Chain A
Amino acid sequence: MHLPLTSQIINLLAALLLLLSFSMLTQRRILSLINLFALQGLTLTLAILVVAWSTGQHHLYYSAALTFVLKVLVLPGVLHRLIRKLNVKWDVETLINIPTTMLVGIALVILAFNVALPISQLAGTIAKSTLGIALACVLLAFLTMITRSKAVPQVIGFLAMENGLVFAATSATYGMPMVVEFGIALDVMVGMVILGVFFFQIRERFESLDIRHLEKMKDE
């Protein structure tokens, strides 16, 4: 079966996104994690650009620009500044059981493909076959969040999840209406600012950014 070149490129970029999600899942150094996140943002921008170019959906160019500015320039920049100020730049997290995490990740990908299958068949967009990958990225980012015990990687997982959602919107519907996309971007920005403030307060109170210190509150 021969696919047009643009679809092939989109599929390639989608595969790259999935690969990056997996590498974020197992990356132990915070600095590398941020770089991977920036790279994921760049791949996402390229994917949106290719979809925009091949379908002639002009508002997707704005969406790509927004993604580029926010996910490649601003947020990684803010995160770099934060880890420098918090002195956690060279932190290495001890992740237990990377092989198990990977296996769970693979199971999630299979699940995502199965869930997305009926929708992909119905969607009429050029990137419809990648909806499964988008859902897989969301689920893998979620897994990244719950396997981490430090605050900064948790937030990166949260932002990666948002990347997956943007990709889902692009592949299923050629993006959301512009006003909604701006709203989402605004929420992400404000959320990031609040979290930045939070990091400092958590560290001030607990002298660490390890969320495991925060586990006193339980239902006895």
Chain B
Amino acid sequence: MNWQLYLVLGTPLLGGILLALWGHKTWAADLNIAMSVGTFISAAALTAQIISAGPLITADEQFFVDSLNVFLVALTAFVSMTTSLFSRPYMRIELALGKLSDNRLRLFHSMYQLFIFTMLVVLLTNNLGILWVALEAATLTTVLLVSLYRTPASLEAAWKYFILCGVGIAQALFGTILLYSASQKVLGSGGGALLWTHLETAAGSLEPTVMSLAFVFLLVGYGTKVGLVPLHNWLPDAHAEGPTPVSAILSGLLLNVALYALLRCKVLVDGALQAPFASHLMMGFGLLSVVVAAFFLSKQKDVKRMFAYSSVEHMGLVTFAFGMGGPVANFAGLLHMTLHSLTKSAIFFAVGHAAQKTRTQIMDDIRGLIKVSPTVGWGLMLGSIAILGVPPFGVFASEFLILTTAMRLQPWATPFLLIALGVAFAAVFSKVQPMVFGETNAKRLPHPPALVPVFAHLAIVLALGFYIPPYLVDWYRVAAKLIG
């Protein structure tokens, strides 16, 4: 029996149903937390099982767990747990400020759990068709979350998000169809030809022309969800207009999950082509994202938009790392994915409370946070420093690894990366510094803010900068080897 796996998927699904019924009650936020904690405990149990017993294929081969996806399952469950802790006071304050009604709160809680559920299905499924279906379902749940406030701007953001990601994901479906047509010849028709484990063993005999074309469509499709330039247009709007817990899980989790889908496809294409076609495409898109996003950072006025562009930049960096390939770059990419998730969600937690204190998201109007609330101010400052890659935070280690590998394998790309990181540093630091220090206009909040999640995340990021435990290193190494 693989009860851990079913528990990981069942808990958020059950949570979504229960909260659809009672999500407006005063104890709904606690139920949301309880469900998320339950998911995290089951994910931890699943992780322990995979570490001790190796990869797992179950339920008529429909689910497949190995070191690569179990690491993302654990990360997803962890960040969704801390985000639920953060959203309890955050949404309570929003309710007190009159931005939400009870019905909207019910929608928020229910969709939050279902969003986690769909992401976990994407991560755990072995069937590339189901993976597509679940990722599309994740888009649908987040469309409802982004438009939660029903303001003109949030409706616009949600519409843009739906249409752009809808078009993108349609391309991914076409890619999946092409992949199926290639695999059908080798594996025969029926369900088996879309199962990743079957595809991986047969990758060498898949038709290269069809596979390379399929990858182009898959890259455009899933790349839209990763937020790769020039397909990133939906991302800043969706991040800025949705409630902050949603921004945190979009940046921290959904982008990772979409990149994971792309990685699984890349492994197959690499196997079929025996040529670095997919790698070159990923490096190109990744580098473009890093450079373009870095230059957009300095133009932003809205704090959540700015950090959304920072997410584009970091996902670009990770995509570039996976594009380079090889054990070191993949290791660095996985590490950077983890650290970016933790840091960026911590930043959004701090930003959310800062915006509530000053009643605005415009950076010029947010001043002197540290005077009213030292914890929110320091949380934002430390988070920004961490994401900019200042030592001793962990992001420094992963960025350093990516840069040194780039110097060795792709020296031409290094100057672009260095310039982009420098520009990003100047832009973000010069904007965050006056927000945190100086005279203030912030007000007190009706409920105490949630600060445990912020500092818990930052503490982990800091700790990983000093010392990565050996079992974690092994785990990343095994996962890095799976990507090739």
Contacts and interface: CB of A to CB of B under 8 A. Distances in A.
Interface of A: 115, 118-119, 122-124, 135, 138, 142, 145, 151, 154, 158, 161-162, 165, 168-169, 172-174, 176-177, 179-180, 183-184, 186-187, 190-191, 194-195, 198, 201-202, 205-206, 211, 214, 216-217, 219-220
B400 to A, nearest CB: 31
Nearest to A118: B209
B227 to A, nearest CB: 14
B44 to A, nearest CB: 29
A176 B185 contact: no
Contacts of B190: 177
B335 to A, nearest CB: 31
B180 A184 contact: no
Nearest to A211: B159
Nearest to B309: A219
A183 B129 contact: yes
A214 B130 contact: no
B177 A169 contact: yes
B268 interface: no
Interface in B167-194: 167, 170, 173-174, 176-178, 180-181, 184-185, 189-191, 193-194
A119 B210 contact: yes
A173 B150 contact: no
B194 A198 contact: no
Give the bracket for the number of chain B residues in contact with chain A. Answer: 35 or more
B163 A154 contact: yes
Contacts of B40: none
B166 interface: yes
Most buried by B among A176, A180, A211: A180
Interface of chain A: mostly helix, strand, loop or mixed: helix
Contact of A191 (B127, B129, B140, B207): B140
B317 interface: no
B133 A165 contact: no
Closest 6 pairs between A and B when the two form their complex, measured CB to CB: A180-B129, A183-B133, A214-B156, A172-B181, A173-B181, A187-B136
Contacts of B160: 214, 217
A174 B159 CA distance: 33
A10 B127 CA distance: 30
A179 B191 contact: yes
12 contacts: A119-B210, A165-B174, A173-B184, A180-B130, A184-B173, A187-B140, A190-B140, A198-B155, A201-B150, A202-B159, A205-B152, A217-B153
Interface of chain B: mostly helix, strand, loop or mixed: helix
A216 B130 CA distance: 36
B450 to A, nearest CB: 29
Given A177-B191, A216-B156, A119 B181 contact: yes
Nearest to B180: A173
Contacts of A145: 163, 167
Nearest to B144: A194
Nearest to B62: A179
A76 B156 CA distance: 25
Nearest to A174: B189
A154 B209 CA distance: 33
Contacts of A190: 137, 140
A217 B156 contact: yes
A187 B132 CA distance: 10
A122 B210 contact: yes
Given A168-B174, A172-B177, A173-B180, 14 more contacts: A119-B210, A145-B167, A165-B177, A176-B129, A176-B180, A177-B190, A177-B194, A180-B127, A180-B132, A186-B133, A191-B166, A206-B152, A211-B159, A217-B157
Interface string B187-229: 0011101100000000000010110010000000000000000
